[in-house]
């Protein structure tokens, strides 16, 4: 099982539809969704607290969930810095995108 609670990574989602994974978690497991992380220009908002990785760690969050699906379903280059930082900070990382996290 993916360790809870979650920080929902919305990246630079252009709209709410692109954040469909995050929306599903927020709707179906709201007790696990404690915050959201948005990059500049993100147009999606789950109505959760915007958190930095440090704030998420202090709140006891265990897993960063990539909650956005982009065209092609791949991890965008613009996301990689923060996702690597999350791993280095000790978070688990969950993704349902088409490319593997190890790539």
The contacts of residue 30 (CB under 8 Å, 6+ apart) are none
φ, ψ of residue 82 in degrees (nearest 5): -70, -35
pLDDT of residue 70: 82
Query: For the chain, what's the residue count?
Result: 103
What topology is assigned to 6-94 in CATH? Answer: Rossmann fold (3.40.50)
Neighbouring-strand partners of residue 65: 8, 94
Sign of CA dihedral 71, 97, 37, 10: positive
User: pTM of the predicted model, to two decimals?
Assistant: 0.94
* pLDDT one-digit tens code per residue, 1-15: 899 999 999 999 999
| Structure tokens, 103 | 């790539």
Is the pLDDT assigned to residue 97 strictly greater than 80? no
* Distances, alpha carbon 96 to alpha carbons 24, 60, 67, in Å: 13, 23, 8
Q: What is the mean pLDDT of the chain?
A: 94
């Amino acid at each position: 099982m993916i360790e809870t609670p979650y920080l929902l990574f919305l990246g630079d989602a252009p709209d709410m539809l692109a954040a469909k994974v995050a929306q599903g978690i927020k709707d179906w497991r709201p007790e696990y969704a404690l915050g959201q992380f948005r990059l500049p220009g993100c147009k999606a908002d789950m109505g959760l607290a915007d958190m930095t990785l440090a704030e998420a760690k202090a709140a006891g969050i265990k897993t960063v969930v990539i909650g956005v699906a982009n065209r092609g379903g791949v991890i965008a280059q613009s996301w990689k810095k923060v996702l690597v930082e999350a791993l280095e900070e000790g978070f688990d990382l969950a993704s349902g995108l088409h490319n593997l996290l190890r790539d």
